[in-house]
Each structure stands twice: as structure tokens, then as C-alpha cells.
Structure 1
Amino acid sequence: MRETDFIGGFAKGLRVIEAFGETKPRLTITDISRETGLDRATARRCLLTLAELGYAAYDGKFFELTPRILRLGHAYLSATPLPRLVQPYLDQLSEKVGQSASASVLDGTEIVYVARAAQKRVMSISLTAGSRLPAYCASMGRVLLAALPETEARAIIDASQRKANTPFTKTDPDILMAELSEVRRQGYALIDQELEIGLRSIALPLENARGRAVAALNIGTPAVHAAAQEMVERYLPAMREVQAALRPLLS
């Protein structure tokens, strides 16, 4: 892209929107400046513009996003057929195995949930369409990274803010690259309490007819429900049925 094609003000506004989240629903100008790296004057202008357009509310100190912001995410969910295609299969899979099932896509260093069928809450945070998790330590993230060329996957891992969420979290880039090689070999990823203590998950790629991974499918379960290797025997066959059924439908 040519430098003259880049609209800096628009990019700054998007950075401001992305600063808000489940743990940061209400932010001050100072908070936004710190979160985005923008100076206070720029952060203030962006926030007041969002408020003027109805995308944010302002009480004189704190800003918070309004429901109008959902139009931005809904535009993607409406434009892509993926969520509509996978949701019935997730519902059936979740009902069949008695656990939560999800589908996600890769976005930079994170995965974004595009569909979910929840049997019960398996994490301390609530996961819905639009939720994000770091790719390096999520089962669906490992599957999607493994589908990339090694140099590209390594660049994403290097760019990730790799932190040890639990004593089991793998953060060393070389170890993570070895994990991706194993995922490619076996065709699935198994995460044992790397995101959160007490949570295990198993994922595999959702590929189109040309063999390209367009998304990932996973089942997450409390660790007390199944040992790590039990998950392979208990859930993988049903997941592979969904994988095969969706293959001719995905573009």
C-alpha cells in the first residue's frame, strides 16, 4: 500500500475502539492515551468524535462504547457465511458430546471466535462471537498457526505478548514451533491448562475442498471431566465428522 493511501486519523480511531474490552469497559482520556500510545490531545479528539457519532458515551470523565459499535462487528458476521455455516454443526456437536464447541479464525496474533455453542461456562471469562484469545496458547490458535508457512507462524509467535498464564503455559518460541510441528503431524492440537488452570481443549482445522484451513474447531472442557489423552479418544472422532461435513461447504 502506498503511504498516501493510509489514513492516519482513521487508524488512530480504530486503536481507540480496540482499547476497550471486557476488563476495560469504561476508560478516561488518560487511560486511552496509555493503552494506545497516543498523546492526550489525539486521544481526546478520537473519543469525542466517537461520542459525537454515537459510538461512545461520555459522562464527563469516563467514556464507554455504546451498542452502536456492534454495527462494525455485525458487518463482518453478516458478510461472511462462515458463522451461519458452522453454527448448526457446533450445536449438534456440543449436544452430542455434552461440552462447549467453538469456531474461530486467526487475526494477527489472536484468534477471534466467530461461532460458539456453550453447554457450560468453562473459563473465568465469558466467550462469545467476537471474543479474542492469544493464538500461541489456545488450541484453535495452534491449529491455525500450524496451517501457515513456518516463517509466517514464527513471525506471529515472535510478535505475540507471550506470558505464562499458568505454570503449564509454553512461551518459548522454539518450544512453540516444535508444538506446531506436532500439530501438523497429528492433525489436531491439545491444550492442557495453558490458558487457564482447570481448562483443557482440543482443536482441529476446518479446511475447504482445496485443503486450506479457513477456521478452527474446538471443544473445551473442565479438566476434571477428562484427562488430556482421554479427550482425543472421547471427542476427536465426532469433531472429525464435523470437519468432513463442512469441507465441501467452505470456500
Structure 2
Amino acid sequence: MSRDVPRDARAPHFVRSFERGLAVIRAFDAEHPARTLSEVARACDLTRAAARRLLLTLADLGYVHSDGRRFRLTPRVLELGYAYLSGLDLPHLAQPHLAQLAELAGESAALYLLDGDAVVPVAAARPRRVMAATIAVGARLPACGTAAGRLLLAGEPPSDCVLLDGDPEAGVSTMAAPVRDRSGRVVAGAVLAMHSGRTSAGAARRDLLPHLLAAVARIEADLRITDPAPDAPLGTVTRR
């Protein structure tokens, strides 16, 4: 798997079998919700015997289900991500502002964090309109292929830097703006996701950009009354 730790970079405490188990879980995604034993083995560069042991172990633990030929993840894997999300204050702080943004703009809104070479939406809101883009909280997207990712990879863009770019989901465009903490550090990207055929780039900048920037200002205002914990993960804030 692309995110495996290189062999020469592994510390003495490194548990190879645990890495393989995580690789098996990551082998399932939106494009491959179900896989056969052989497919999992190929995706994870494992022998069929090793892949079978790992899949059966995950099944015993309740993380994988099999119909006899194909394997699927179960809802229990959500526990793994929820433990992280439940410890973050920033998504909870931003949620009401995202909900207000979604209603004012009539488009889906989200807050993204950078995770290595990917971005992950940690909070999202949809307007009441039926035809709105779907943003899956917790989904990993390639940073270089999204507006939020390019924004966060840029490090310290100008305060008015907003990008309009194609999203990996066909027919959807995203507009992103940086969210900064009280020290000016970019900690997240606020995003509006729009159906490309409904809103042109010019109209989005004219009509939707003010709503996006206003939402960012509200989120940053809340962040200014908080102090980041000394060694907290990106996006974690601690109230005074």
C-alpha cells in the first residue's frame, strides 16, 4: 500500500502484522466496497494465506463481513474514526457556521484538514435544497486534486486566497478559503461544493464568495477566544 512505512524507516518496536491489518482495512473504499480474497491480497501485496488470516481476524472482531466469496467492511469500522473526531473541538466549533453557510449559499459546506498527502472533511452541512453536493465526513481525497488540498498545501497563502477548482467528483466544483488560528497559522480549509452546471466560476466568486469569507471570519472569531493545547493535533483547541 502507498502509505506503508518503508522497511528501512521502521523502528525496532514496529509491528508488521498490525501494519498489514490496517492495510487490509484501507483496501476497501468507495470504488472497492467489496473485494474477494485474491483482490485484497493483490491490493495489499500479501500472500493469499496472509490476507485470509487477516480478513478472518477482522471478521472475528466485527470489522469485516463475508458472504462466502466477497468481503466488506462493517459499520463498526466507524468507531476507529469517531475516536479521533470526537476529540476535536474545531469541527464542533465550525459546525453551526457551516450550517449557516450552507443555507445562505444554497450549497454544501465543509471543513477540511490536511493529513499527509490527503485532505479529510471533518465537518459538513447541506442546505435544505434536494440537489446539493454530498460531502462524506472522514473520506480521504488527494490533496493536490482538490481546492482545499491545494490551499492547505500552499502553507501560508495570502489572507484573501480563494481557489475555485474541479473536484474529484464529476460535475462538482469547490471553492476554498483558509481558516487561521489566533497566531495566523492555517489550520483548516472551509469549502463550498457546487454543481458545476448550476453556478459558473464568475457567479460563484460574485455571489457565494462573500458568504464563504463571512463564515470563515465567524469561525476564526471563535478560534480567537481559544488557545491551542501545546502538543495538540492539528485542529484541536482548548477553551480558556
From 130, 142, 148, the equivalent of 2:138 is 130
Paired positions, count: 214
Distance 2:80 2:167 in 1: 31
Alpha-carbon distance, 1:21 to partner: 1.4
Letter in 2 for 1:53: L
Against the structure 1 CA distance between its residues 185 and 76, is the aligned structure 2 distance closer, same or farther, given a 3 Å change threshold?
closer
Alpha-carbon distance, 1:223 to partner: 2.0
For residue 197 of structure 2, give the secondary structure of its aligned residue in structure 1. Answer: helix
**1:74-89 to 2 correspondences below 5 Å:** 74-89=82-97
From 189, 204, 207, the equivalent of 1:231 is 204
Q: Is the 8 A contact 2:171 2:197 kept in 1?
A: yes
From 14, 31, 53, the equivalent of 2:22 is 14
For residue 33 of structure 2, give the secondary structure of its aligned residue in structure 1. Answer: coil
Q: Is the 8 A contact 2:110 2:135 kept in 1?
A: no
Aligned: 1:140 with 2:148: yes
Q: Deviations over 1:139-191 (max 9, x none)?
A: 1111111126xxxxxxxxxxxxxxxxxxxxxxxxxxxxxxxxxx648511111
Q: Is the 8 A contact 1:208 1:249 kept in 2?
A: no
Against the structure 1 CA distance between its residues 34 and 184, is the aligned structure 2 distance closer, same or farther, given a 3 Å change threshold?
farther
Please name the residue that 2:220 is paired with: 247
Q: Is the 8 A contact 1:147 1:184 kept in 2?
A: no
Distance 1:28 1:121 in 2: 35
From 98, 101, 109, the equivalent of 1:93 is 101
For residue 104 of structure 1, give the secondary structure of its aligned residue in structure 2. Answer: strand
Alpha-carbon distance, 1:122 to partner: 5.0
**1:1-251 to 2 correspondences below 5 Å:** 3-119=11-127, 120-122=130-132, 126-147=134-155, 184=158, 186-191=160-165, 193=166, 195-250=168-223, 251=237
Alpha-carbon distance, 1:13 to partner: 0.7
Letter in 1 for 2:162: Y
Against the structure 1 CA distance between its residues 197 and 24, is the aligned structure 2 distance closer, same or farther, given a 3 Å change threshold?
closer
Distance 2:50 2:131 in 1: 39
If each structure's helix is expressed as a fraction of its own residues, which one has the higher value?
1
TM-score, normalization by structure 1: 0.78
Against the structure 1 CA distance between its residues 247 and 194, is the aligned structure 2 distance closer, same or farther, given a 3 Å change threshold?
closer
Please name the residue that 1:155 is paired with: none
Alpha-carbon distance, 1:90 to partner: 0.5
Letter in 1 for 2:182: A
Q: Is the 8 A contact 2:63 2:75 kept in 1?
A: yes
Q: Is the 8 A contact 2:108 2:135 kept in 1?
A: no
Q: Deviations over 1:223-245 (max 9, x none)?
A: 23322122122122222222222
Distance 1:75 1:110 in 2: 19
Letter in 2 for 1:89: H
Distance 1:8 1:249 in 2: 42
Distance 1:34 1:47 in 2: 14
Q: Deviations over 1:78-116 (max 9, x none)?
A: 111122111111000011111111111112222111111
For residue 190 of structure 1, give the secondary structure of its aligned residue in structure 2. Answer: strand
Letter in 1 for 2:205: V
Alpha-carbon distance, 1:199 to partner: 2.2
